[in-house]
Amino acid sequence: MDRTDLDQTRAPIYEALEKFREMRVVPFDVPGHKHGKGNPELTAFLGEKCVGVDVNSMKPLDNLCHPISVIREAELLAADAFGAKNAFLMVGGTTSSVQSMVLSCCKHGDKIILPRNVHRSVINSLVLCGAIPVYVNPEVDHRLGISLGMSRDQVKKAIDANPDAVAVLVNNPTYYGICSDIRAIVKMAHDAGMLCLADEAHGTHFYFGENMPVSAMKAGADMAAVSMHKSGGSLTQSSLLLVGENVSERHVRQIINLTQTTSGSYLLMSSLDISRRNLALRGKEVFRKVVEMAEYAREEINAIGGYYAYGREMINGDSIFDFDPTKLSVHTRDIGLAGIEVYDILRDEYDIQIEFGDIGNILAYLSIGDRMQELERLVSALAEIRRRYKKDPAGLLSQEYIDPEVVCSPQSAFYSAKKSVPLKDSIGQVCSEFVMCYPPGIPILAPGERITANIIEYIQYAKAKGCSMTGSEDPDINNINVLI
Amino acid sequence: MNLWFSEYHAPDVRHSLRVTRHLYSGKSDYQQIDIFDTPEFGKVLALDGDVMLTERDEFIYNEMITHIPMSVHPNVQDVLVIGAGDGGVVKELTRYESVKRIDLVEMDPLVIEACRTYLPENACKLDDTRVHIYFDNALRFIRRSCDEYDLIIVDSNDPFGPSEGYFTREFYGICYNALRSDGIMVNQQGSPFYKHDAEAMQRSHKRIVNTFPISRVYQAHIPTYAAGYWLFGFASKKYHPIDDFDEERWKSLHLSTKYYTTKLHIGSFYLPAYLEKMLMEVES
């Protein structure tokens, strides 16, 4: 396929699968369920149409490890739709996109500049490759208790202090919808001979909606990991890795193939293909509606009193360079409830599942699939929770950014000799594992970081409030692994 | 002509009515609206293929959802009616002189328009000066109100479509908040007979029990609804549906009714054993 032939109304993988279905090919290959006939219970549960296209790579359907026909075409169409030089269909979640992105440009001992409020997948990839993190202090909004974006000055300082770093990684946006000045950061990185990588797990819609924060590719970033399955509407675990002019497509493909399955799921790939087509054709309209819903919900929630549903008024030109208008983040501390408590009440008493609650905030994820009537339920439930549970917020901990002290690289901490000690006795020790609330999955402690009294207090408070803690070997985090 | 309208009352049970004429068919932002004529039940209103009312048996529903609370609360002045775009509940309410204001919140203007044209017998009182019609989502409308109504009547569709939000804890909570300290909320509570309906009925009963100090269920026989057997919820902040029932006061109003009687009022709260058990399961 020539680039000039790209037609966004096409969906080559989907079309090939439809054709494959009509051919009624007799399967003497894997998967062994043979279009579902070998697993009637699964077929009854998922449906014949679904299991019928859960098939293996074959000539008419191409091969994800080395695409030359329909997958290649789908990737070219995705690259075109997202304004990238190349796009890779990913089937291991955006975790795999992030890891491939980091592994493509960092080797053992290389430095990478990044904000501390990255997703665990970023630090995991440092464990894999042995690169050393240089954290940029994100600014903190003290009222809301959330980490913001990276300010230009802080990035500049980090670049000047670490001229040997190979890349700068940017959240575009953060889980809460906050964007750094990615255009300026790209320029600073490029001027210093570094690559700029973007974690766009929450930024798919930046490529299609109107009046959105700038997308990484448009800002000139070199690579971007894009969670199509979040705002893009594709199936869970499907993702895209986008690449710009400065990065070799072949090198990235080799890196992806180090860890990617050789049995790429056609359910996931076709969902990426169909979703990309939908976004290219109807994305503007879809995200206009999502923004309208979010704006409406913000107004209504703020009218209840006590809650603060924040939006573009937060923009300050630097650490909050832009705000994702589709995000519905609500600060709950002023009604006397931790975000995680509101999150639990919504689920347990109102049958409403939101994305996450942290110490001071909740996040309701709005998308392509929402309707006004459900939004009215959410707003009304929040009004009810305030009426029934409102109390004095005194005594509620405000979430503060805890500046990490990186003692050694995540990789050497992860693989060093270690011992398990009671959390309360671990002050001053170097942690060898992750500790985080999930979601949002941003580490409180990462391997190689010094444990402080502040951090222990924070972990104990989050546990007491009902946050689901993950990452550590001891699921209850009474004990923690530290370096010997 | 051998044209039949069929509605699933359960996955393996259908209820069919012979149709002589399709009078109206329209699609709004919310639902498919149809009105047709049948030999046995007269004109029928269906939303998304579910029968909402028929000329022949609407009196049972409208009388039972209205006169039960009106004969318990001694002084109903301000009433909020949710759904009920056909006007049947409003028609019954306007018979009470004590009622000063009826706010009707219906999300779908097209339902009211269609009923005004094709079911004027029901919609005839929508123009009463006490009636104020608001086209809005009821959740949004009510959460702005506090201590404002004596009676809320929830005349919604079943809980599996656009009316799902009217069977939720948040909805019952904002209704509670919108009622005065002696207010009553009455809602259509579905049928206890088929499994799917019974589970939904239990869920919503549980939520009401958790919200109101007094919550009782009463019954009526409605031929065109699932199993011909229908329930209503009586939720109240102060008045008990039987202990505070003032038979003489209601009789002195001399309202003629076709289904409701003061004896039936009491009888309708005496429920079959299987239903009592289902309610008790979720009350504890």
What ipTM was predicted for this assembly?
Answer: 0.84
Q: CA of A297: which chain B residue's CA is closest?
A: B140
pLDDT tens profile A115-151: 988 888 999 999 999 999 999 987 888 888 888 999 9
Whether the per-residue pLDDT at B148 is higher than 60: the answer is yes
User: In this complex, do B169 and A374 lie within 8 Å of one another by their Cβ atoms?
Assistant: no
> Which whole number is the average pLDDT over B110-132?
92
pLDDT tens profile A430-467: 999 988 876 666 788 889 999 999 889 888 888 887 88
Find the angle CA(B207)-CA(B211)-CA(B214) to the nearest 5 degrees.
Answer: 105
User: In this complex, do A377 and B139 lie within 8 Å of one another by their Cβ atoms?
Assistant: yes
User: In this complex, do B137 and A351 lie within 8 Å of one another by their Cβ atoms?
Assistant: no
Note the pLDDT of residue A2.
55
Q: Looking at the complex, report in whole angstroms how far the Cα of residue B141 sits from the nearest Cα belonging to chain A.
A: 10
Amino acid at site A387: R
pLDDT tier at B151 (50, 70, 90 boundaries)?
very high
What is the DSSP pairing of strand A469-470 with strand A435-437? Answer: antiparallel
> Which whole number is the average pLDDT over A201-209?
96
Q: Compute the distance between CA of residue B184 and CA of residue B153 in angstroms, rounded to an integer.
A: 8
Q: DSSP code of A77?
A: H
Q: Looking at the complex, report in whole angstroms how far the Cα of residue B187 sits from the nearest Cα belonging to chain A.
A: 18
- Which residues from chain B sit within 8 angstroms of residue A351, using beta carbons? 168-169
- Catalytic member of B78, B86, B155, B158: B155
Tell me: do B175 and B279 sit in the same domain: yes
SS3 content of chain B, % helix, strand, coil (to 5): 35, 30, 35
Tell me: do B116 and B174 sit in the same domain: yes
Note the pLDDT of residue A399.
64
pTM summary value? 0.86
Domains contained in chain A, CATH given: 284-389 (3.90.1150.10), 410-483 (3.90.100.10)
- Pick the closest to residue A11 from A325, A276, A365 (CA basis): A276
Interface of A with B (CB under 8 A): 300, 304, 349-351, 372-374, 376-377, 379-381, 383-384, 387-388
Q: Looking at the complex, report in whole angstroms how far the Cα of residue A270 sits from the nearest Cα belonging to chain B.
A: 30
Note the pLDDT of residue A4.
58
- Which residues from chain B sit within 8 angstroms of residue A301, using beta carbons? none
Two structure tokens written together for B196: 């799917």
The CA-atom distances, in angstroms, between B112 and each of B44, B53, B79, B241 are 14, 14, 19, 31
- Strand locations in B60-210 (E): 78-83, 101-106, 131-135, 149-155, 179-190
Q: Compute the distance between CA of residue A205 and CA of residue A228 in angstroms, rounded to an integer.
A: 9
Tell me: do B115 and B183 sit in the same domain: yes
Q: Looking at the complex, report in whole angstroms how far the Cα of residue A335 sits from the nearest Cα belonging to chain B.
A: 17
Which of B137, B168, B177 lies at the smallest CB-CB distance from A350?
Answer: B168
Which of A304, A373, A384 lies at the smallest CB-CB distance from B170?
Answer: A384
Q: How many CB atoms lie within 10 A of CB A222?
A: 26
Tell me: do B92 and B134 sit in the same domain: yes
Tell me: do B172 and B33 sit in the same domain: no
SS3 content of chain A, % helix, strand, coil (to 5): 40, 15, 45
- Give the total number of structural domains in chain B: 2
User: In this complex, do B165 and A383 lie within 8 Å of one another by their Cβ atoms?
Assistant: no
Q: Looking at the complex, report in whole angstroms how far the Cα of residue B85 sits from the nearest Cα belonging to chain A.
A: 18
Higher per-residue pLDDT: A283 or A397? A283
> Which whole number is the average pLDDT over A77-90?
97
Tell me: do B66 and B161 sit in the same domain: yes
Note the pLDDT of residue A3.
59
Percent of all residues in chain B with a pLDDT value above 70, rounded to a whole number: 100
Tell me: do B201 and B68 sit in the same domain: yes
pLDDT tens profile A174-203: 999 999 999 999 999 999 999 999 999 999
Q: Compute the distance between CA of residue A366 and CA of residue A326 in angstroms, rounded to an integer.
A: 7
Two structure tokens written together for A313: 């008024």
Note the pLDDT of residue B156.
84
Two structure tokens written together for A410: 């995540």
pLDDT tier at B124 (50, 70, 90 boundaries)?
confident
For an interface test with A, which of B156, B163, B168, B170 has the most A Cβ atoms less than 10 Å from its Cβ? B170
CATH assignment at residue B25: 2.30.140.10
Q: Looking at the complex, report in whole angstroms how far the Cα of residue A321 sits from the nearest Cα belonging to chain B.
A: 33
Tell me: do B83 and B12 sit in the same domain: no
Note the pLDDT of residue A63.
94
Amino acid at site B231: L
3-class SS of residue A286: helix
Q: CA of A296: which chain B residue's CA is closest?
A: B140
- Which residues from chain A sit within 8 angstroms of residue B170, using beta carbons? 350, 377, 380-381, 383-384
pLDDT tier at A352 (50, 70, 90 boundaries)?
very high
Q: How many CB atoms lie within 10 A of CB B116?
A: 17
Give the range of the structural domain holding residue B237, as residue numbers without chain letter: 58-283
Note the pLDDT of residue B97.
95
User: In this complex, do B137 and A372 lie within 8 Å of one another by their Cβ atoms?
Assistant: yes
Q: CA of A303: which chain B residue's CA is closest?
A: B144
> Which whole number is the average pLDDT over A224-241?
96
Tell me: do B70 and B108 sit in the same domain: yes
Choose one of B54, B76, B95: the last residue of a domain.
B54
Whether the per-residue pLDDT at A405 is higher than 60: the answer is yes
Q: Looking at the complex, report in whole angstroms how far the Cα of residue A146 sits from the nearest Cα belonging to chain B.
A: 29
Interface of B with A (CB under 8 A): 137, 139-140, 142-143, 162, 164-165, 168-171, 173-174, 177
Q: CA of A372: which chain B residue's CA is closest?
A: B137
Note the pLDDT of residue B4.
96
Tell me: do B32 and B67 sit in the same domain: no
Q: Tell me, yes or no, if B158 is annotated catalytic.
A: no
- Which residues from chain A sit within 8 angstroms of residue B142, using beta carbons? 380
Note the pLDDT of residue A40.
96
Two structure tokens written together for A36: 């579902």
Whether the per-residue pLDDT at A401 is higher than 70: the answer is no
What is the DSSP pairing of strand B131-135 with strand B179-190? Answer: unpaired
- Which residues from chain B sit within 8 angstroms of residue A304, using beta carbons? 143
Which of B137, B164, B177 lies at the smallest CB-CB distance from A387?
Answer: B177
For an interface test with A, which of B82, B141, B143 has the most A Cβ atoms less than 10 Å from its Cβ? B143
CATH assignment at residue B123: 3.40.50.150
Note the pLDDT of residue A467.
80
Contact A325, A289 (CB under 8 A): no
For an interface test with B, which of A347, A373, A379 has the most B Cβ atoms less than 10 Å from its Cβ? A373
For an interface test with B, which of A377, A385, A388, A390 has the most B Cβ atoms less than 10 Å from its Cβ? A377
Tell me: do B22 and B126 sit in the same domain: no
Choice among A234-243, A402-411, A463-472, B130-139 with the minimum mean pLDDT: A463-472
Percent of all residues in chain B with a pLDDT value above 90, rounded to a whole number: 89
pLDDT tier at B239 (50, 70, 90 boundaries)?
very high
User: In this complex, do A377 and B174 lie within 8 Å of one another by their Cβ atoms?
Assistant: no
pLDDT tier at A386 (50, 70, 90 boundaries)?
very high
Tell me: do B27 and B135 sit in the same domain: no
Alpha-helical runs (H) found in A203-248: none
Percent of all residues in chain A with a pLDDT value above 90, rounded to a whole number: 78
Note the pLDDT of residue A416.
92
Which of A349, A372, A383 lies at the smallest CB-CB distance from B174?
Answer: A383
Note the pLDDT of residue B1.
77
Q: Compute the distance between CA of residue B89 and CA of residue B188 in angstroms, rounded to an integer.
A: 12
Q: Looking at the complex, report in whole angstroms how far the Cα of residue A421 sits from the nearest Cα belonging to chain B.
A: 45
**How many cross-chain Cβ pairs, A to B, lie less than 8 Å apart?**
50
Whether the per-residue pLDDT at A1 is higher than 60: the answer is no
Contact A411, A127 (CB under 8 A): yes
- Which residues from chain A sit within 8 angstroms of residue B212, using beta carbons? none
Looking at every residue in chain A, the average pLDDT score rounds to 92
> Which whole number is the average pLDDT over A1-23?
87
> Which whole number is the average pLDDT over B118-132?
91
Return the CA Rg of chain B: 18
Rounded to 10 deg, the angle between the A93-105 and A120-129 helix axes is 40
Q: Compute the distance between CA of residue A333 and CA of residue B75 in angstroms, rounded to an integer.
A: 41
Q: Compute the distance between CA of residue A259 and CA of residue A174 in angstroms, rounded to an integer.
A: 26
pLDDT tier at A90 (50, 70, 90 boundaries)?
very high
> Which whole number is the average pLDDT over B72-77?
96
pLDDT tens profile B174-195: 999 999 999 999 999 999 999 9
- Which residues from chain A sit within 8 angstroms of residue B139, using beta carbons? 373, 376-377, 379-380
Whether the per-residue pLDDT at A25 is higher than 90: the answer is no
Q: Compute the distance between CA of residue A361 and CA of residue A147 in angstroms, rounded to an integer.
A: 12
Percent of all residues in chain A with a pLDDT value above 70, rounded to a whole number: 98
Note the pLDDT of residue A412.
92
Whether the per-residue pLDDT at B162 is higher than 80: the answer is no
